[in-house]
């Protein structure tokens, strides 16, 4: 039976502040969905409403045909992983994962086997008897994830689970999390403010701002075909060029840069930021400022350096037109 998660016109206010304004969303079964947006956009409030930790002022929530709007968190059967991990410091990894399974009427042997299965799933069999203080941040997050998955939940909810980790650990755990979700086929909703994280891990990205959904789509759709200037500006770098009341947008990697003597617009290299295999150039043409990402080898090959005159081309197939510039991105 298909058990997609459906939110219908969810509203939530805190005094005069509207955290959620008539949010409607469907999360398909077995898919990985990221709620993406800046701080204060409502994404965490929405996740907490799904989990039952916040009661909506109005609206309805369904899992399949079953309405769960008024159910307490314990009756929803969801696994939740928080940014802070929320592990019990006086319990070992094994005991943390087992916590809560006993209340489900399982016998000790079944619990033991399930815990071992979860430890193996997240690669922590050798750390079973360590306490949280003896584990790295990445290992603690794996324990928290194993604990959430142990009861075989219908839905996995993740509230910025990787944000407290350093960049390299975060990247590795991001891949592990995605592989794990695909193996289990569990419907997953994750909150993040990290655009790269959302684009690399999700089947669908939901971009939010001011308590509303700005756009929902695949990572490619969100990046290549943003619905409005806010999404274009928030998800990745972009150039906005105003012309007679309309705005043309183009991603830095689509700006073509040539040495002098080639066709195109005249510009000057004002800044160069080395990024390994590529370089980010800040180009100036009068009052116009453009950012371009080019292969690092191009600069050496063509003798392009700081202060050099260049020609630039903006391929029309990569340009997007909007009626207005972004506000408060």
Q: How far is CA 17 from the centre of its chain?
A: 24
* Integer Cα distance of 17 and 87 in angstroms: 32
Select, from the ranges 44-53, 92-101, 282-291, the one with the highest average predicted confidence (pLDDT): 44-53
- Asked if the model's pLDDT at residue 111 lies above 50, the reply is yes
Contact 156, 182 (CB under 8 A): no
Reported as half-sphere exposure (CB side, CA atoms, 13 A), residue 265 has a value of 16
What is the pLDDT of the chain when averaged over all its residues?
91
Its pTM stands at 0.90
Q: CA torsion sign, 67 to 152 to 169 to 96?
A: positive
- Specify the 3-state DSSP secondary structure of 128: coil
- Asked if the model's pLDDT at residue 260 lies above 60, the reply is yes
- Asked if the model's pLDDT at residue 187 lies above 80, the reply is yes
Please write the tens of the pLDDT for every residue from 229-253.
Answer: 999 999 999 999 887 777 889 999 9
What pLDDT, on a 0 to 100 scale, did the predictor assign at position 325? 60
CA distances to 108, 126, 254 from 120, in Å:
18, 9, 44
CA distances to 16, 35, 66, 265 from 76, in Å:
30, 20, 10, 59
DSSP state of 160: S
Please write the tens of the pLDDT for every residue from 116-135.
Answer: 999 999 999 999 999 999 99
* Integer Cα distance of 125 and 117 in angstroms: 9
* Joined tokens for residue 10: 């969810």
- DSSP strands (E only) in the chain: 5-14, 17-27, 32-36, 58-63, 66-67, 78-81, 155-159, 187-192, 204-209, 212-217, 239-243, 246-250, 256-259, 265-274, 278-285, 288-295, 309-313, 320-322
Task: Give bridge partners of residue 79 from the DSSP assignment.
Answer: 156
Q: Name the strands in the sheet holding 309-313, side by side, starting at the edge strand that comes first in the sequence.
A: 256-259, 309-313, 265-274, 278-285, 288-295
What pLDDT, on a 0 to 100 scale, did the predictor assign at position 162? 85
Please write the tens of the pLDDT for every residue from 13-46.
Answer: 999 999 999 999 999 999 999 999 999 999 999 9
pLDDT band per the 50, 70, 90 thresholds, residue 82? confident
């Amino acid at each position: 039976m298909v058990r997609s998660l459906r939110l219908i016109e969810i509203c939530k206010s805190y005094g005069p502040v509207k955290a959620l304004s008539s949010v409607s969303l469907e999360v398909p079964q077995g898919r990985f969905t990221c709620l993406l947006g800046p701080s204060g956009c409502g994404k965490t409030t929405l996740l907490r409403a799904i989990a039952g930790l916040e009661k909506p002022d109005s609206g309805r929530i369904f899992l399949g045909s079953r309405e769960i709007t008024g159910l307490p968190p314990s009756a929803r059967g969801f696994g939740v992983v928080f940014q802070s991990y929320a592990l019990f410091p006086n319990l070992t990894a094994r005991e943390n994962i087992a916590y809560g399974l006993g209340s489900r009427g399982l016998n000790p042997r079944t619990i033991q086997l399930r815990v071992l299965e979860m430890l193996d799933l997240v690669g922590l069999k050798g750390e079973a008897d360590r306490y949280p203080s003896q584990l790295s941040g990445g290992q603690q997050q794996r324990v928290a994830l194993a604990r959430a998955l142990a009861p075989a939940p219908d839905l996995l909810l993740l509230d910025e689970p990787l944000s407290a980790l350093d960049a390299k650990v975060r990247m590795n755990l991001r891949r592990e999390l995605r592989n794990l979700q695909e193996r289990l086929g569990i419907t997953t909703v994750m909150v993040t403010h990290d655009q790269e994280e959302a684009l690399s891990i999700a089947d669908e990205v939901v971009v939010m701002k001011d308590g509303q959904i700005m756009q929902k789509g695949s990572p490619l759709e969100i990046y290549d075909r943003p619905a409005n200037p806010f999404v274009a500006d928030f998800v990745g770098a972009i150039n906005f060029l105003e012309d007679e009341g309309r705005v043309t947008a183009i991603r830095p990697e689509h700006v073509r840069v040539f040495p002098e003597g080639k066709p195109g617009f005249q510009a000057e290299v004002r800044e160069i930021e080395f990024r390994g295999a590529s370089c980010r150039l800040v180009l100036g043409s009068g009052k116009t400022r453009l950012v371009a990402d080019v292969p690092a080898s191009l600069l050496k090959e063509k003798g392009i350096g700081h202060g050099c005159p260049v020609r630039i081309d903006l391929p029309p197939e990569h340009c997007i037109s909007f009626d207005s510039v972004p506000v408060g991105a």
